[in-house]
Chains A and B, each alone.
Chain A
Amino acid sequence: MMHLFWLMAKRDIKISWHGGSTSSMVVAFFIIVVTLFPLGVGPEQNMLARISIGVIWVAALLSCLLSLDRIFQADYEDGTLDQYALGPLSLEMVVIAKALAHWVTTSLPLILISPLLGILMNMDDRAFLPLIYAMLAGSPALSLIGTIGASLTVSLKRGGVLLSLLILPLYVPVLIFGVMSVEASVMGTGGNAPLLILGAITLFSLAITPWAAAAAVRLALD
């Protein structure tokens, strides 16, 4: 069973590299959004340093949102999802494989590029490592919660906007504790507690996503 899981995850990752790679577009969007802030609020260095962590997190959430509708849409339209539903792997596992592929193709590139944007925003030196840790702990939750949203809107023709409305409020806890964790590390007040809460959010979404998203996909296939 496990090799089917990897087979599907690998296939999704490969598809996102074909024809106008999703990853590069998401990363480009991420960079552009962050670059807009210095242009909008002015090049004053202290101001940029103060808002840098929040801006990077918000931009990461928005970029993550951008590729969510790809998780199920193409598979639903070409009938692949029907075959998955009939296959030997339970839909719950299919959903996790898809969320994993989304994390690898979207969240991981965002994490890798975020230090560069930190420099651009004049972020405090002490914030770089904590930012990466916080994103590593929190980003799986973004992909997992996003998968639920994608499964709920899969049968709608233009579900993109609705998807954003559904999912963004659910991203708020990740944003709050993500920013809190990095800022606490910088100020030396201990960023571990918020980091652990981020981990808890990820684990919680890992526990509910398979059931919720699989149920939604079943409804969509009916």
Chain B
Amino acid sequence: MSTIKEFSATNLCVDRGDRPVFKGLSFELPAGRLLKLIGPNGSGKSTLLKTLAGLIEAKDGDILVDGTSLIAEDHIAECITYLGHKNALKREFTVYENIEFWANFWGRSDKIDQSIQDMGIGYLRDTPVRFLSSGQTRRTALARTLCHNATIWLFDEPTVGLDDQGLDLLAKTMQRHLEKGGMIICATHVPLGVPDHFTKTLNLADFSIPMSELEEQWL
């Protein structure tokens, strides 16, 4: 894990299709902090995470790691790991095979056992993913996301389907990462269980396009 002091975005504007999702969005995230993205459905939490990961191009604005623009650098994503709504797991393969592939893909096969243990899915190691419940699948997806060199973790509603034990394991894993100087940006509707002094909150509703402006476009 490389040391990054600050991850920030300035004046981000993103369109989906022809519809603007948010504009003028800025944040600064220092090392060892979690940025919690809140906001009503459709306010652009997932869009923001995808933009930060480099999957969507921003119309305007910049994303900076320690003052260096990611967009200008062609979005080299070595310092970012991303978990979206989709789990990127193959139903045909076992839990271990799935995690092993992604660990090899990111060059961190040494982290496989640790991440399996962190998510408490050791007993599922040799179970094909198609037999897992949705919570177990989500844990497996989290485990494969952790097999990565990244300092910055981008999680899109990681808690979906998790039980109390799963939430607890996730909170502990996130806290350990923050204590080591990592950063997390996490879209969520539920409390994450990470102590408040680690957490900053960003409400996407503050940057959404006012209804009146949207209506003007249609007239």
A residues with a Cβ closer than 8 A to B are: 4, 7, 11, 15, 18-19, 74, 77-80, 82-83, 85-88, 221-222
Chain A residue contacts of B86, Cβ below 8 A? 77-79, 82
A88 CA to B88 CA in the complex, in Å? Answer: 16
A86 in contact with B87 (CB, 8 Å): no
Q: Number of contacting residues on B, CB 8 A?
A: 25
The total of interchain contacts (Cβ-Cβ below 8 angstroms) comes to 55
A80 CA to B82 CA in the complex, in Å? Answer: 11
A-B contact pairs, 19 of them (CB 8 A): A4-B105, A7-B101, A11-B90, A77-B86, A78-B88, A79-B86, A79-B87, A79-B88, A80-B88, A80-B90, A82-B88, A86-B55, A86-B82, A87-B77, A87-B106, A88-B78, A88-B105, A88-B107, A222-B55
Q: How far is the CB of A168 from chain B (nearest CB, A)?
A: 30
A83 in contact with B88 (CB, 8 Å): yes
* B53 beta carbon closer than 8 Å to chain A: yes
A19 CA to B86 CA in the complex, in Å? Answer: 22
A15 CA to B107 CA in the complex, in Å? Answer: 22
B55 in contact with A221 (CB, 8 Å): yes
Contact among A4, A15, A82, A86 with B90 in the assembled complex (CB-CB below 8 Å):
A15
Chain A residue contacts of B102, Cβ below 8 A? 83
Q: How far is the CB of A54 from chain B (nearest CB, A)?
A: 37
Query: Would you list the 10 A-B pairs with minimal beta carbon distance, nearest first?
Result: A79-B86, A18-B92, A79-B88, A80-B88, A86-B77, A83-B88, A15-B92, A221-B55, A19-B92, A78-B86
Determine the main DSSP class of B at the interface with A. Answer: loop
B residues with a Cβ closer than 8 A to A are: 53-57, 77-78, 80, 82, 84-93, 101-102, 104-107
A57 CA to B107 CA in the complex, in Å? Answer: 43
Q: How far is the CB of A66 from chain B (nearest CB, A)?
A: 19
B101 in contact with A82 (CB, 8 Å): no
A78 in contact with B89 (CB, 8 Å): yes
A74 CA to B89 CA in the complex, in Å? Answer: 10
Chain B residue contacts of A85, Cβ below 8 A? 54-55
A79 CA to B102 CA in the complex, in Å? Answer: 13
Q: In chain A, what residue has the closest Cβ to B78?
A: A88
A221 CA to B84 CA in the complex, in Å? Answer: 13
Contact among B57, B77, B84, B101 with A79 in the assembled complex (CB-CB below 8 Å):
B84
Chain A residue contacts of B93, Cβ below 8 A? 15, 18
A79 CA to B53 CA in the complex, in Å? Answer: 14
A78 in contact with B90 (CB, 8 Å): yes
A74 CA to B129 CA in the complex, in Å? Answer: 15
A82 in contact with B82 (CB, 8 Å): yes
B92 in contact with A222 (CB, 8 Å): no
